[in-house]
A and B are shown apart, each in its own frame.
Chain A
C-alpha cells in the first residue's frame, strides 16, 4: 500500500515533467494526459457516443460495465461488472487491464503510478 506522502512526491515529480505540456494554461495536466492516453478510444462529455471504448462521462462511482448501449466483453463483465469505479479500482485497472480482467477488450498498462494518479484526478475533477 502506498502512503499518501509517497504518492504526492511521485505526483510532484511527474508534474515537473509535464510542465512542457502546460502551454495552454487553461487545460490541466491531468486533462491533457487523460486525453492523450484515453481519447483515441473513449469520449468524455455527457451524451457523446461511444468510440472503440465506452463513453467515460461520470465514470467514478458508476458501476463498471453500465454504459448504456456499449457491448462489453464477457471477460470484463465477469471480473468487474457492477463494481463501482472507485479510485482504487480505477488505479488497478490502469496499472494493467489484462492483469485485472484477463481477456477483456482493452489492452492498456501504465507502470508509472504518477501518471495513473493524474488520470484519476481528471475523472475526479470532471465527475
Chain B
C-alpha cells in the first residue's frame, strides 16, 4: 500500500527539529511528545498488520519474527537510520540454556538460572526456599519467559540469516562466583562477524538484521516519530499517529497490533529527574531515546514498573554534557597504573568494579557535608598506562594518540595535572553544583598514590579488593607486557610525570523502566489487564531485572525472548475492522 499525499495544512504546524546545546550531534529529531489518544474515524495514510515503533535491537527482531509469520510489517523509526542504541553496543546477548552451550555438552538447568536472577534482582527478599524465590509473581514469570524463549528466538534469527552468531564459551556471568562450582559458562553469544575484540557487535548485528528485514519485506521507514496511539471505541490500539521529519503528520493503521520498541528515557532530563534513583548525567543511549512510550502510554492507563533503575555505566562527564552521539559507556576502566579519586583526592571505589555496579558510588550522599563527594571522579594514570593500556574499545577512558582525546587532561607533574583538572571542573561548574577540588586535594592525592603503590607492589588491594574477581580481570583491558605482578589490575604509579586524568561520572546505557507488560509483551493497565492491541519490548518497558545487570548481554538476550513472544502473540490477534 502506498502512502497518500500529505495534507498541506499539516506542514507548518510543527517545529520538528530541536537543536541540542553543543557537540557533534547538533540536531536530534524530537520535540515533546503529545502522548494523546486520537479518536478514530479519519482516514489512514498507510496500513499494515503490525506496526513496530522503533528499529533498534528490539524492534528489528520483533519485526522479523512477525514478518516470518506472514504479516505485513512496518517499522517506524524516529532517527534517520535504524539501529538505535544497539548500533553502538558490543551486542553481546545473554541466552540461558542456549543451543551452542548444550551442543558443547554443558547444561544450564532452569532452577539454577532462576535462583541466579532472583538473587541479583531482589537481593533484599531473595529466599531460595520460597516457591518464587522472593521475586514477585510478575518478575518470576518474566524471568521464566526469558529462560524459555531466548534460545528459540536467537536460533530462528540465526537460521534465517538475520543474526548469525558466534558462541563465546569461556565468558562467565558477572556473578558466576555466587553460583559456585556449578556456574554455567557460555551463556553469551555475539554476532558472527564481530571483530576479535568483540566490541563492534552492534554495527554487525544492526547491519545483518536490517539487510534481512529489507530482504524479507519489512518496510523500514525512517524519520518517523510516533506521537500517539489511535484506539477504537472499544479501546483497542488500531494504529498510530506519526510526525515525520519533514514536519508532516501521518496516520498509520495497524490491523493486528502496535509494538513499541522505542527505547528508554536516557535523554529526557525531566523523566530522569523524576523517576531515576540516581541523578545521572544522561548516557550513551541513542539520542532518540527520550521516553516517548512513557508519555504516550500515560494517557492509555498503562501500569509503570521499574522506573527507578537503569542499565548503568560510568561515562565521561564532558561527552555526556555535550550530548555526544558517539559516546560509549566506560565498560573497561583501563590501566594498571591508574586509580580514581574523588574531590578530596581519596580512593573510594575498586576501579575495576563492573560498570553497572560502580555507578551508585558516584551518587553516594554525604549527609554530614550535604554533598555528593564522588559526583565527578578523576581517573588518573601515568605514562606506562598511556603507552600500554590505551584502547578505542569498550569506552576506555585511556585512548590512543590520534583519536578523540579531548577529555584527557595532561600535566608534567601532579601539580600541573591538578591545575588542569581544576580549570576543567570550573568550566562545568554550572552542571556540577560548582564542584571543586578540595584545598587538601594534592596532599591527599600524594598519600593516596603512596598507599596504592604499596598495595600494588604486594598485589593485593586491602582497601577495595581490586582485581580479586575473575570478571574484573576479564575487563581489565591491556597492560604492559612482562608484568610479573600477581594482580594484573594494579601497578605502582610512576613517581615522575607526565600524568593524565579524565573526569568521570555516572550515566546510563539506557533506562529500564516503563509500561509493564505480561510475558507476551502485552502492555498492562493498572488492573493487570492487557490493553488490547498494544505491545512493548526492550528498554521502553519495565524490565524484571530490578537493579541487576546479570551478565554481559543481559540487555539484549532477554529482549530477543520478548521480541519473539510479542511477535507471536501479535500475529495471533484478530484483524481489527476499524
Contacts and interface: CB of A to CB of B under 8 A. Distances in A.
Interface in B14-38: 14-17, 19, 24-29
A20 B200 contact: no
Q: Is the interface of A mostly helix, strand, loop or mixed?
A: loop
B570 interface: no
Interface residues of B, number: 48
A49 B210 contact: no
B67 to A, nearest CB: 17
A88 B388 CA distance: 43
B326 A51 contact: yes
A21 to B, nearest CB: 5
A37 B287 CA distance: 12
Given A105-B203, A108-B80, A51 B324 contact: yes
B388 to A, nearest CB: 20
A98 interface: yes
B325 A51 contact: yes
Given A51-B326, A69-B402, A36 B286 contact: no
Contacts, number: 109
A18 B29 contact: no
Contacts of B88: 52
Contact of A17 (B11, B82, B200, B210): B11
A60 interface: no
B12 A36 contact: no
A107 B206 contact: yes
Interface stretch (B242-250, B253-261, B302-310, B347-355): B242-250
Nearest to A18: B246
B207 interface: yes
Contact of A20 (B12, B25, B29, B405): B12
Given A17-B11, A52-B88, A105-B200, A39 B6 contact: no
B404 interface: yes
Contacts of B247: 17-21
A41 interface: yes
Interface in A18-44: 18-21, 23-24, 32-33, 35-44
A40 B403 contact: no
Interface string A77-103: 000000000000000000000100011
A85 to B, nearest CB: 19
A16 B396 CA distance: 45
B403 A49 contact: yes
B14 A20 contact: yes
16 contacts: A18-B247, A20-B12, A21-B246, A32-B27, A36-B28, A40-B24, A40-B286, A43-B24, A44-B24, A48-B24, A51-B325, A52-B87, A69-B403, A98-B210, A107-B211, A109-B220
Given A39-B27, A52-B326, 6 more contacts: A18-B246, A37-B81, A40-B28, A48-B24, A103-B193, A107-B207
